[in-house]
Amino acid sequence: MIIKRAEPTDQAGILNHLAIGEMCEAMFGTTDRLQLIKYMQKLYEQPGNRFSHEYTWVAEENGVAAGAVTVMPANMLRRTTLMTVWHIMRLKKLRIIPQLFNYPKHITALLRLDEAERNECHISMIAVLPEFQGVGLGTLLLKAAEDYAAANGHNICSLTVKQNNYGAQKLYKTVGYEIAGVINQPPFRLYKMRKYLNG
């Protein structure tokens, strides 16, 4: 198993889909899992958006992207979110109009999420394929994100997690993250978690 900087040729769209689940449906206006994975792969391949390979590290096992983590300075979140919207509009063309009517709360909430403070480095996505879970891969990916943060002058890493995702919360707490706030912005109910990297 190796952890490496991601490349646009990695097949990591499935990991982005796994990480954000039903948010994909609001973003693309479909519940077709295979179509959503294709869309997420397209976002991954393009630069500048929230799901881009540019901000991602991949755990690779025998050429398979087994897990991934996306991390960036928090002051880039707004810009990359707007670029994500632009890329989705380009992918969907005029077919984006119906989803604005079908998912107005989801889309508004996504654009308004206050995930991190400006001085933090934010982990916006982490996922491990089910067949690779339970062997410490999530911990290795978090370490890669934290190493990036520290190397770029950040003392704090942050992330958000669903309030009912107890397994992920347990992992984050085990490696030093603490709940630092709550986001109750229907339909999203999240905890903000934070870790100080110098102890």
Taking the whole predicted model, whether its pTM rises above 0.75 is answered as yes
Q: Is the confidence at residue 199, as pLDDT, over 90? A: no
Cα–Cα–Cα angle for 17, 82, 58, nearest 5°?
40
- The predicted-structure confidence for 112-138, as pLDDT tens digits, reads as follows 667 778 889 999 999 999 999 989 999
- The predicted-structure confidence for 42-99, as pLDDT tens digits, reads as follows 999 999 999 999 999 999 988 899 999 999 999 998 899 889 888 988 887 755 555 5
Q: With contact defined as beta carbons under 8 Å apart, do 160 and 180 qualify?
A: no
CA-to-CA distance for 127 and 43, rounded, in angstroms?
A: 16
CA-to-CA distance for 144 and 109, rounded, in angstroms?
A: 29
- The predicted-structure confidence for 141-162, as pLDDT tens digits, reads as follows 999 999 999 999 999 999 999 9
33: its two tokens = 């899992």
Q: With contact defined as beta carbons under 8 Å apart, do 54 and 106 qualify?
A: no
CA distances from 105 to 22, 45, 108, 111, 152 (A): 13, 28, 5, 10, 35
Strand extents, DSSP E, the chain: 2-5, 56-61, 64-73, 121-128, 156-162, 178-185, 188-196
